[in-house]
Homo-oligomer: A and B are copies of this chain.
């Protein structure tokens, strides 16, 4: 890996430094939650002005790779968006209290990867994957049904643990049991009508429209770790955006 900077490239210094730091973060030189060297230190080791270091780190910050706190330092950011699905759905209790989504693993199987899952995870068509069916509950009512696919090889630790003990959040589980850290994700939303099986799971009438959120979760090195489809009643869907 490059550990020097400047010299030849036509790229601005601060971008070269950004790339260099980003590469080291991807390579886990510093763990998520841990601090990277201070501005002064980076300025010293790479022989660039502090202002240039700032510019590089600000770029990383804008990209969400690090977080800065005034008197404390700059830290590699931990992703925590396991329940970000709820960004797209509004599940209100009757009196509008905040929701406390519970997870129930309905089944866990070792299967040949379905086509879409294999593609998303960059696996060969017949590779083995772990399939989890999972329900997210709000006040004892199922609101989201999820099909989750994981490369069997990398996640084999999950086959030896009782699904009841998985807990409500999967990403911390992946980290704890498999040493795999989800750093980012891509989501695509579409609308379908439910199949019979899904309707039953979610307690919906047949042919109800549902919003499908397909998510590919990526590690810090950009490799796909998990692919999932989440389905919830379209009537509960709401998404707002500002445009300019």
A contacts, CB < 8 Å to B: 64, 77, 79, 81, 84, 183-191, 193, 209, 211, 234-235, 237-244
The answer to whether A187 and B84 have CB atoms under 8 Å apart is: no
A62 (CB) vs chain B CBs: closest residue: B62
The answer to whether B242 and A184 have CB atoms under 8 Å apart is: yes
Chain A interface, >50% SS class: strand
A207 (CB) vs chain B CBs: closest residue: B207
The answer to whether A187 and B244 have CB atoms under 8 Å apart is: no
A190 (CB) vs chain B CBs: closest residue: B238
Please provide the 3 A-B residue pairs with the shortest distance between their CB atoms, ordered closest to farther.
A191-B234, A209-B209, A64-B244
Complex CA distance for A187 and B243, rounded to whole angstroms: 8
A85 (CB) vs chain B CBs: closest residue: B243
Contacts of A209 in B (CB 8 A): 191, 193, 209, 234
Complex CA distance for A150 and B240, rounded to whole angstroms: 21
The answer to whether A81 and B190 have CB atoms under 8 Å apart is: no
Complex CA distance for A187 and B240, rounded to whole angstroms: 5
A211 (CB) vs chain B CBs: closest residue: B191
The answer to whether B240 and A186 have CB atoms under 8 Å apart is: yes
